[in-house]
Each structure stands twice: as structure tokens, then as C-alpha cells.
Amino acid sequence: MAVRPRFILASASPRRQALLAQAGIVPDAIVAPDINETPRKAELPRAYALRLARDKARAIAGTEVTDGALILAADTVVACGRRILPKADSDGDVERCLRLLSGRQHSVLTAIALARSASDIKLRIVTTKVAFKQLGKDEIASYLQSSEGIGKAGGYAIQGWAECFVRRINGSYSNVVGLPLLETLSLLQAAGYR
């Protein structure tokens, strides 16, 4: 029987860890990459997500910690049309995002990078369409009080109170949480991780 390769999660996201655990996967190590996540001028959401996932995987693959391990990195982007919404750092960011998303459909894109080395990286991207209901001032104010949107792409967490805002979702729910499980497991299995 083949020995399972070591598996490193290149993310400190508790949501990604929880999703992997839900699929019965516990990383051998968790190493958060330190990269510049600023979008480039005129960079589109899809290209941005793919670039960040690749850069995160490369940053970890280039360290002595890896030693032939499989490295999984991901980046989730919330986009309204061609506009990349920020990872909310403040109540103001959350409020601006919710006002923009109110009554509209938006896209959640997660790029996944699985690396064996800095030069051997497999990429996938998954897009889910999410439609929000029209949000009232009181709903936005209540959500701000929860602080749930801080640190989240697009200023909301679908696995929390914000699920009450969702009229419709078309695609992978786990993608919106932060890691599309079907595609992630497919990449891992193809790389020999059982």
C-alpha cells in the first residue's frame, strides 16, 4: 500500500480547516503564507483569485518546511460584476459591501492551488452565484453589531447570520464558505492523497 504524502494547508482560515475536517482530512501542518494581496490595476476577479492561490502555494512550496509534501492554497473573491469586493477590515467596509450586494446577484470565486513544488502547481477555480434580498437599514445595522463580516471577503459569512440574506444560490455552498470540497478532493485524489 502506497504511503500517503504529507499534506500542508497554506491557510490559517478556520473555515477551510473545518471544511477539510468535514471531509475527514486533517492537515499534517498549517502554514499561513505572507503575500501581498493587493489587486493589480484593472485585474479581473478570476485572474486575481488564480494569481493569489498560485502565489500562496509558491510561497510555502519554496520553504524547507515542505519536504515533498502536497501544499493546498486557496483564495476566495467576492465580485459584483467586474468589481472585486474587499476583505472587510472595518464596519465601514462591511456596510459598503452589504449596500452594494443588497438586492443583487454576485459571484463568489475560489481558486485552489495544489503544489508539489514551486514549479508544479495544479489550479482550479469554482464560481458560485449568490443573490441577496433587498436589505433594510435595520438588517444591515444588526449585522454590523454582530461583527461577523469583519475579515470576510465581501463583508459577510454565508455560514452565519448572512445566510438569512440569501434569496438564491447557484453552485457550491462550500465554495462560498471558502473551499469548494468536490474540486478540492478531486485535486487531492488525483495527486495520490487518499
CA distance 172 to 186: 14
Ramachandran sector of residue 9 (left: φ over 0; alpha: ψ -120 to 50; beta: rest): beta
SS (H, E, C) 100-133: HHCCCEEEEEEEEEEEEECCEEEEEEEEEEEEEC
Beta strand pairing call for 105-117 and 83-84: unpaired
Give catalytic residues, as residue numbers: 75
Residue linked to cell 444560490: 169
